[in-house]
Structure formats: C-alpha cells, structure tokens
A = this chain, B = another copy of it.
Amino acid sequence: MSPGDRVVMFETGHFATLWRQMAGRLGLDVEFVPGDWRHGVDPARVGETLAADREHRIKAVCVVHNETSTGVTSRIPDIRAAMDEAGHPALLMVDTISSLASIDYRHDEWGVDVTVGGSQKGLMLPPGLGFNAVSAKALDAAKSAKLTRSYWDWAAMGESARTGFFPYTPGTNLLFGLREALKMLLDEEGLDRVFRRHARHGEATRRAVAAWGLDILCADPREVSNSLTAVVVPDGFDADRLREIILDGFDMSLGTGLGKMKGRIFRIGHLGHFNDLMLCGTLCGVEMGLHRAGVPHKPGGVAAALDYLARP
C-alpha cells in the first residue's frame, strides 16, 4: 500500500478492530464497515462496496478469517466471488492467525492475495513466527507501494528464501518446532483429519452450550468457528468473574471477552493439539464453573457433548 490508499475493513470483532487501528497508524484511508461482532463479513456488502467504487480507489479488502475474539468466521470463497462479480481489482487480504491448520483454508484455490498467519495457534508452537502467503498480484503491488518499511518488506525475505537463508536472525528453535508440527499435521494425522477433528470439537461444544440453555456469540450457523466458541453470559452476570471461579477452582484458564465483549462472554478454545477427552474435561470445567458462579443454566451440557462424541 501507499500512504492514503483506501482499504475496506469490517468490524467483525476485536482483531479486525486492531487491524484497522494498525492500518490507520500506517496512514491508510480505512473504510471500516461497522458490525455487531456476531457475524462474519457479508459478501453482499463487499460486492456493493466495490461496485460503488467506480474509480477503483479501494486497493484492498481485508478480512479476518476466524475472529479469535468472537468465534465467528468469514466465508472467504463467497467474498472472493463477490469481488470477482464486481470486477474490482482490489487485493484480498486475509488474517488466518487462529484458523491456519485448524479450519480449512486455501490461499491459492480461493484466490487470496495476502494471507497472514502465525505459529502460536493451530501450528501448536510458541509465539514467534509469522507467515505470509502472497499472490503474484500482491508481490507486484508491493513493488510500487510507497509505505515506508524495512523489516516488513517482502523483497529481502523473498530473495533470501531462494537460498534457504534469512535476511535477519531467524527464530531457529521455532523453525525446528515448525518442522515437527508440519510432520504431525501433514504426515501423521493428515490435514483433512485435523480439520474434521476440529469440526467435531466445535460441534460438540456448541451442543453443550445449547444444552446449557446459553447462546454462542456467533449468530449465523454458516459462520461458526471450529477453533473456538464464544459463549454469552446472561445479563447481570460477569463473564470474568465466572472465568476467575473456574481458574481458581479447576486450574483452567478460559479466554476473556475482548474489547466490546468484556465481561459479556467467555471463550472456549478447541484448536491445535487437542482431543476428545481434553474437550470433555474443558466442558466439565465450564459446567461446574457455571454452577459455582450461580450462572443460570441447565446442567446437561456435558451430557449433550458426550452423546455426540460417543458416536463412532
């Protein structure tokens, strides 16, 4: 991008909001489509926005694939289709921090221009590595882009990558871990089965929440996340107090409500190195925590999850 370039971003949650903030700091002209944090990006809205931009002032559409703060995904192929339909040349940029290697995602097949990922979620590593997948079109755009940058510039990394070297001191220990993680994901379990495992855990979690009589934050069944589930705490109850009771009582740390959702939700992560019984223990901790905290709920959440998971 160059200073003043227009980008379209969507308020799907906290991380989309932080991304917008970052874009603003870098001097981009952000059109930030407001949202209720319960829906992913609306492909129709993407299409309309681009169609209205006759002069092609919009240079990029930026979407968070899986909003870690809400447990809501955006339907990237539909968004791409809407962009194509509008015949608009904007780049499609996607944040896959909390979906990469947990939820099906296809950079090339889906026609994404820039994909951003990290080591600390589905790749099961400590934080410290960032990944970019970049289309030829995006690489080309980068050549004439005028935002000042040094470390973040792709050129140096691209040149070094040809020889297997790095332009800066690389996080070598994490690279050894990455090799092992990729072996686990690609060779030992297989990506398809990894995605099915997370889909299964997402579904079991949602069934537990429904059985408790509680709502998940995600309002559209097509957009539920298989990485994590955000659960809405009934009005008058503090989600963070519940989290504290669960941490103190059962040594389990649930995700807090971020930004606008502070105190209103808690988040159950079920991504990465995770199996059925780890999920069961997690849901048991939540169910007992709801009880201890006096949050109104029906008790059968764990039973509902077991009923689903017990099927071979």
Whether A240 is near chain B, meaning CB under 8 Å from some CB there, is: no
Q: Give the chain B neighbours of A310 by CB distance below 8 A.
A: 287-288, 291-292
Partner of A120, one of B147, B149, B153, B169: B169
* Complex Cα gap A309–B288 (Å): 8
Name A284's closest neighbour in chain B (CB-CB). B280
* Complex Cα gap A291–B305 (Å): 14
> In A259-312, which residues have CB < 8 Å from any B CB?
275-278, 280-282, 284-285, 287-288, 291-292, 299-300, 302-303, 306, 309-310, 312
Q: Give the chain B neighbours of A173 by CB distance below 8 A.
A: 126-128
Given A147-B148, A148-B26, answer yes or no on A276-B250 (Cβ-Cβ < 8 Å).
yes
Q: Give the chain B neighbours of A280 by CB distance below 8 A.
A: 280-281, 284-285
Interface string of A1-14 (1 = CB under 8 A from B): 00100000000000
Given A27-B148, A150-B25, A171-B128, answer yes or no on A285-B292 (Cβ-Cβ < 8 Å).
no
* Complex Cα gap A27–B169 (Å): 23
Q: Give the chain B neighbours of A234 by CB distance below 8 A.
A: none
How far apart are A26's CB and chain B's nearest CB, in angstroms?
A: 5
Check if B118 sits within 8 Å of A169, measured CB to CB.
yes
Q: Give the chain B neighbours of A300 by CB distance below 8 A.
A: 303
Given A284-B306, A310-B292, A312-B249, answer yes or no on A25-B127 (Cβ-Cβ < 8 Å).
no
Q: Give the chain B neighbours of A302 by CB distance below 8 A.
A: 284, 302-303, 306
Check if A127 sits within 8 Å of B278, measured CB to CB.
no
How far apart are A13's CB and chain B's nearest CB, in angstroms?
A: 16
Whether A22 is near chain B, meaning CB under 8 Å from some CB there, is: yes
Check if B312 sits within 8 Å of A127, measured CB to CB.
no
How far apart are A142's CB and chain B's nearest CB, in angstroms?
A: 13
> In A101-150, which residues have CB < 8 Å from any B CB?
118, 120, 126-128, 147-150
Q: Give the chain B neighbours of A171 by CB distance below 8 A.
A: 126-128
Closest 6 CB pairs of A and B: A281-B281, A280-B284, A277-B281, A288-B310, A126-B173, A25-B150
